[in-house]
Amino acid sequence: MRKIDYKDIKIIPASLADYPAMQNLGRFYVYDMSEYLGHEDGWEMPEDGLFECIDFKKYWERDNTFPFLIRYKNELAGFAIVDKKGSEPLIDFNMAQFFILRKFKHQGVGRYVAHQLFDRFEGIWEVMVLPGNTGAYQFWEKTVGSYDKDYHAYDRKVPHFDNEMRNIFKLSSAIKEADKL
């Protein structure tokens, strides 16, 4: 395994011109989730052999959504989408979508990117995980826990997901006093 140099990780605001690349990465995002959710209805492999992802274009068409491409050096390494659509009105920011390519996993890239985004958007955050997606749950439990020791984890039905259950991590991000100096 190579050593990741964090200064070579770039979190770049994505423009509509980046939409096709993000949509293509979405196929790999769904493929990775199928490891945990593939036994459930709706997660079957399509007959054409191409996983489908939700259409990400909505993240450029709505207010208060912030799509990002993640690069390591000059290579695409994933994406993140932040929005303001939490499970309750008091949530400032939500990690709507988050994906790191498998070749960059288990090297701290995802944790670094998540922490950078938490710092960029100060406030009360939620990260919602589909029940059964144990890989994502374990990642977010470690990532959120290393960022905010006072985070809360709970399950809740979420109205804008047709009252489907989500595992939720709630945390607070704030500029640290040392960073203000």
* pLDDT score of 180: 43
The domain locations on the chain are 6-180
The DSSP output letter for 40 is: S
What is d(CA 60, CA 47) in angstroms, rounded to the nearest whole number?
A: 30
Q: What is the pTM of this model?
A: 0.91
* Buried b or exposed e, range 105-129, using 16+ CB within 10 angstroms: eebebbbbbbbebbeeeeebbbbbb
Over 63-111, what HEC string results?
CCEEEEEEEECCEEEEEEEEECCCCCCCCCEEEEEEEECHHHCCCCHHH
Structure tokens that stand for 73 in this block: 């050096």
Q: Which CATH number fits domain 6-180: 3.40.50.620, 1.10.1060.10, 1.10.1740.10, 3.40.630.30?
A: 3.40.630.30
* pLDDT score of 181: 42
Structure tokens that stand for 173 in this block: 């991000």
* pLDDT score of 178: 45
Mean pLDDT by 10 residues, the chain (181 residues): 88 97 94 86 83 92 96 96 94 97 95 97 96 95 97 92 92 67 42
* Residue 3 exposed, middle or buried by CB count within 10 Å (0-12, 13-18, 19+): exposed
